[in-house]
């Protein structure tokens, strides 16, 4: 009886897949809220490479949205890009999800999936960023998100294969060669 109650409460009150929630074993197990309230289900990306980028609207790297969109348009048969707005660095993403969505569409014509604003560092780091940055989950290596527009590349089998710092442009030879591989 006690075990049944424990199982009921642990299932009923389980942490959601959002900030502070549990970390799934596979990138394909993540479901995150999108900027406009829709769900982004990473299982839909099986067989494609995934480039995950933490973004900000008021950063010196913000023009990378243009390159991200160009990359997405060129390779969308084999690549999906998912942007994760974050206000963790210099308060450079102060807007609401609605404001961020409007900014991205108006200024850069962003059509790739954009998640709702999250935290990408510290104790409140979102589970997907725990997966991306902690070797115990990603089987790649431990990394730290150092600034806006840091990029993580997941191969078509769901394995994290590379991390690129902010200064590496999305259309750089390093990134494109891995996408075309």
- Catalytically active residues are 59
From residue 8, alpha-carbon distances to 11, 84, 87, 177 in Å are 5, 33, 36, 49
d(CA 12, CA 111): 36
Task: Return d(Cα 107, Cα 129) in angstroms, integer.
Answer: 26
CA distance 87 to 76: 28
Per DSSP, the three-state class of 86 is: strand
Residue closest to 149 by CA, chosen among 71, 49, 44: 71
Beta bridge partners of 51: 81, 153
Cβ atoms within 10 Å of 119's Cβ, excluding its own: 18
């Amino acid at each position: 009886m006690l075990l049944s109650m424990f199982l009921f409460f642990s299932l009923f009150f389980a942490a959601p897949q959002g900030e502070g929630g549990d970390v799934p074993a596979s990138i394909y197990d993540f479901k995150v809220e999108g900027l406009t309230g829709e769900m982004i289900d990473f299982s839909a990306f099986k067989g494609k490479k995934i480039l995950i980028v933490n973004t900000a609207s008021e950063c010196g790297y913000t023009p990378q949205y243009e390159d991200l969109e160009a990359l997405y348009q060129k390779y969308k048969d084999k690549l999906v890009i998912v942007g994760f707005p974050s206000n963790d660095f210099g308060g450079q993403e102060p807007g609401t999800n609605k404001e961020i969505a409007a900014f991205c569409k108006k200024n850069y014509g962003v059509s790739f999936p954009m998640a709702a604003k999250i935290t990408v560092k510290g104790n409140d780091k979102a589970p997907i960023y725990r997966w991306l940055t902690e070797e115990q989950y990603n089987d790649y290596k431990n990394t730290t998100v150092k600034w806006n527009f840091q990029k993580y590349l997941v191969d078509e089998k769901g394995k994290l294969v590379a991390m690129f710092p902010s200064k590496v442009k999305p259309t750089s030879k390093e990134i494109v060669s891995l996408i075309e591989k």
